[in-house]
Structure formats: C-alpha cells, structure tokens
Structure 1
Amino acid sequence: MTASSFARLGVSWIVVACAAVVILLLSVAWVRPALAACKRASSTGIGAVAFFYGANVQAERFEPFDTVVIEPDSGFDPRAHTAHCPNWYAYVSVGEVTKERAYYAKMPKTWFAGSNAAWASTVVDQSASGWPAFFVDQIIKPLWERGYRGFFLDTLDSYQLVAKTDAERVQQQAGIGAVLRELKARYPQARLILNRGFEILPQVHDQVAAVAFESLFGRWDQANQRYDEVPGNDREWLLAQAREIHERYRLPVISIDYCPPEDEACRREIVQKISALGIVPYVADGGLQTIGMSHSIIKDAEPLTKVSLRR
C-alpha cells in the first residue's frame, strides 16, 4: 500500500488495523498452548485418570489429568471449561438408583428388584421392559446436552445381589448389554468406561474405552467406614481379570484404590505398585471427595503379559 493510500485511509484506520493484528496474534498465542496440552490428552487415550465426586469441581486443579470422572449432580458444566484439557466423564449408576436422583420418581416401582443397604440404594432390574430406552432418555440425554461425551458406568454387577440362579444372572447380563447398545446406538461418539462388568465384556467390549475396578491394594469398607488392605486372594482374582481384559480385548485397565486422605505415602506407594503392573492407577479417599494421585505418564511399567504373577 502506498503512502497516498494510507493518507486516504486516515490514521484511525491504521490504528484499528494494527490493533486487530495484535489481538489476533495474542489469541493464537493463548490458544496454542491449550491445544498442545489437549493433544497430549487425546494422544494418550485414557492417560492419567482422576475420580472426583465432590460438590466443588475446580477445573484448573485437574489439568494434570487426561481423564476425569465427576459426579454430574455437582452442577459442573463441561461446556464452560473447554480450555481445560481433561476429557470430562460423568458418573452414571446403571445397576442401582438412589432417591436423590432426579429420575428416580419417574421409574416404575416394578423395576426395583432389591436394595443395597451399604449405600442406601435400590437395585434396578436390568431385564425390565423399557429400561434401556428410559436409561438413555432420562439419564444419558440430559448429560449429553450438558456437554458430557464420556460416561463412567458404575454398579454393573449389582444384579448379583438379587439374581440367584444362572438363568437369572444371564437375563440380567443381557439387560445390561441392551442398555449399552441403546446408548451407543443413540450416541455413537460416546466414550464409555465400565466399572467391572467382567461378565458382560464378551458382548460389549468393542463399545468401551476402558475397564476399571476398585481395590487392588487398598480398599474402603463402606459398611464399617474404614480403610483396609486387600487380601491376597482378592488381588490375584482381580489381576486375572486384568490379564483377560488386556490380552483378549486390548483395553486399558484402571484400578481405583483407597488410602486415608492425609496419608500421601500410602497413595504414592500404591500408585507405584499399580503402575508397575501396567495398570492405570488412581488412589484417593474412600468417598472420592479429595483429589488423589495418578501418573501423567506411567514409566517403567511392563505390560501385563510380561509381568511375572501367580495365576
């Protein structure tokens, strides 16, 4: 542009143009670090995980994690935190429901198959006609509309509290499979992490991103309100499940363990033990009300197929 052209535009136009360029450069500089961090999260899949069921979700405190599962009734809005890099997952109970849930009153009482006294919850009959559609319409759809794209599906084995025969267990498992298929049919891009659900993996493994279980080394006894060490036999059984998931389905495995919130040494020790087994660790308090410990990048961890463990 010539000097005469600048003169015709006037000084004010030049100032505006320069200001626009500066704003553009600043915006790019601000966005690029966020995008770089988010690429870290997406490229590592599940990565470092956190489970937080507290009422006050401070998004910036979860930036070291790649995947964060939160209690959606906390009021947290993932749409307001797109600058933060964790993949936000909503906690969703499949096998049980409590009276505090907004959808509880809408559920036919014929769907209630029993109770779980330890958690003051009601066990849902997974074989009930209409349950898969209700689950997606009344539970998943509102969360999807709020911006959640990942769901942590809990209480998948609660049917075992009420199903007493092999035929009843098979019927309940088929019902859970129908729920997951309905969810993925309606929301194909939904990312799913299962909490246990080992028995249904043969029919749904291709629809999930990872499988979690609780208490490989440290556990929380809800009924007695105390922390305990996990018995060796229980740990070996869980490790056998982890091998099966890893070898047959090639899915990430997550272990959620528990220590007193003030005992950082306990958390660190268990994280290291879990990581050494090639399993994604997370260790926090028994109610998952505080931010616990994981690893951003699990180092020096051999795959489960190479770890020397008793079978």
Structure 2
Amino acid sequence: WVLEEKPDWKDNYIVDMRSEKWHDILLERVIPEISAKGYRGLFLDTIDTASALYANDPDKYTGILNAPAEIIRKIKIRFPDLMLIPNNGLDLFDSFGSDVDAVFFFFLYGMPDFENGSYFRADQNDSDNKTKLLKSIRKKYSLPVFIVDYADENNRKTVLNFIKMNKKNKFKPYIAEKELSRMYQQDSI
C-alpha cells in the first residue's frame, strides 16, 4: 500500500488510499495517538493523489477515486469532533465536502521550481479556473478556503500581490518558501 516516494518531497510517500491496512493504521493507531496528544484536527495532505494514480493507470487503480471520501467518512464516524482539512482534491470534493471543515489548496498563483530552486507564476487560465472552482466549493459547503502560494521572500511585490489576490477572492492566504519551513510575514492589505 506504500507505493513510491514523492520526487519533490524527500521522505514523503504516496499511498494507495484503498488499502484497508492503511485505514486500520490511521484509525486504530495514528489518529488515536494524535488525539491523545491534544491535537484537534488533521491535515489530509495530497488527497488529489487518488486522481493522479487513476489517470495514470485506471485499470490498476479501479475504485481509488472513492477512497478519499471513504477514509474521510470513517474518520468522521470514529472521531466526530476532529477537524478535517483536505489538501487539493478539488475534482473529488463533492464526494466528501460535507464531511470536512475547510478547503485547502496549494499553488493557486505561485509555484516552486524544484529543479532550479526558484519560483514561477502559475498559468493564469489555470489560476482563474481554480479560483472559480474554489469559490463554488466555498459557497456550496460554507467552508473557509486556505491557500498556500510560493514566492521568493525577497520579492515583496510578488508576495504582497499574491496576498492581495487571495484576499480579493476572500481566501485566507499564506505565502511560503518552497521547503515550507516557514511562512512569510502576511502583511495586512
């Protein structure tokens, strides 16, 4: 059920979300341990992996598009007070939108270039389409939308522009460096 290491994120692995073993580890061990330490929520990173796996090999990954909703429902039933925030997975959101507490999305405007160690602006059409979809999800489910964009900390104009664009859309922006080891000063606009 552990498939492969993510190429841009060392020590982070893609899992087959259909795996009952993975579900059991989360529900029987990981989440109870986290809850016992006082944490009140889970960030469900890269929910969109299900879509990517299916797109690459639909025969091998039959049923994987239902897996995010299935594990989210299992968590909600077992831990009803735990806040759940999925990362990405906008194409699957309708399958679990009523069971989560926020929308989280990376790379709306700024993206990291891992090969060159720099940053670049996301495609404008893609940003516009994602913005419309995020607004639609926010309206349909009455959820806050959190955005993490990437930019060079020394490029204050870009950082402030990303913050301004996100706030214009009533999204909660966070601008970070590509390793996500810190968020920049989120200046008021």
* Mapping for residues 60-209 of structure 1, pairs under 5 Å: 111-120=1-10, 121-163=12-54, 164-166=56-58, 171-209=63-101
Shift of 1:147: 0.9
1:270 shift after superposition: 1.4
Using a 3 Å threshold, how does the CA distance of structure 1 residues 153 and 275 change in structure 2: closer, same or farther? same
Cα drift, residue 129 of structure 1: 2.4
Structure 1 counterpart SS, 2:178: coil
Counterparts of 1:119 and 1:205 in 2: how far apart (Å)?
A: 27
Task: Specify which of 106, 109, 119 is matched with residue 214 of structure 1.
Answer: 106
- TM-score, normalisation: structure 2: 0.86
Aligned CA distance change for structure 1 residues 291 and 255 (closer, same or farther; 3 Å): closer
CA distance in 2, matches of 1:201, 1:170: 18
Deviation of 1:254 after TM superposition, in Å, equals 1.6
Are the aligned partners of 2:50 and 2:67 in contact in 1 as well (CA < 8 Å)? no
Q: Which moved more, 1:185-194 or 1:286-295?
A: 286-295
CA distance change for structure 1 residues 179 and 138 in 2, over 3 Å: closer, same or farther? same
Instruction: Give 1:140 shift.
Output: 1.7
Does structure 2 retain, via aligned residues, the 8 Å contact 1:215–1:230? yes
Deviation at 1:123, TM superposition (A): 1.6
Q: Equivalents in 1 of 2:135, 2:62: separation in Å?
A: 23
CA contact (8 A) 2:174 2:183 kept: no
Q: Hey, what's the Cα distance between the residues in 2 that align with 1:205 and 1:134? A: 24
Q: Structure 1: give runs of 5+ residues left out of the alignment.
A: 1-110, 300-311
| 2:172 partner letter | V
Give the whole-Å Cα distance in 1 for the aligned partners of 2:26 and 2:163.
34
Structure-1 separation of matches of 2:152 and 2:9: 20
Q: CA deviation at 1:290?
A: 2.2
Q: Distance in 1 between matches of 2:115 and 2:46?
A: 16
Separation in 1, partners of 2:153, 2:34: 30
Alpha-carbon distance, 1:234 to partner:
1.7
How many Å separate the matches in 2 of 1:295 and 1:142? Answer: 36
Q: 1:214 to 1:132 in 2, by over 3 A?
A: same
Name which one, 1 or 2, has greater alpha-carbon Rg: 1
**Aligned-partner Cα distance in 2 for 1:220–1:205:** 28
- 1:234-253 residue CA offsets vs partner (Å, 9 max, x unmatched): 21221132132023222221
Counterparts of 1:143 and 1:268 in 2: how far apart (Å)? Answer: 35
Please name the residue that 1:274 is paired with.
166
Q: Do the aligned residues in 2 keep the contact of 1:113 with 1:162 (CA within 8 Å)? A: no
| RMSD of aligned alpha carbons | 2.3
Give the 3-state SS of the residue equivalent to 1:136 in structure 2: helix
The two structures have a TM-score, normalised by structure 1, of 0.54
Output one character per residue of 1:35-58: Cα deviation in whole Å (capped at 9) or x when no partner.
Answer: xxxxxxxxxxxxxxxxxxxxxxxx
Q: Secondary structure at the match of 2:129?
A: helix
Matched, 1:285 2:177: yes
Secondary structure in 2 aligned to 1:130? helix
Please give the secondary structure, in 1, of the residue aligned with 2:8. helix
Amino acid at match of 1:285: E
Contact residue 17 and residue 68 of structure 2 kept, 8 A: yes
Aligned residues: 187
Taking only the aligned residue pairs, the percentage that are identical comes to 25
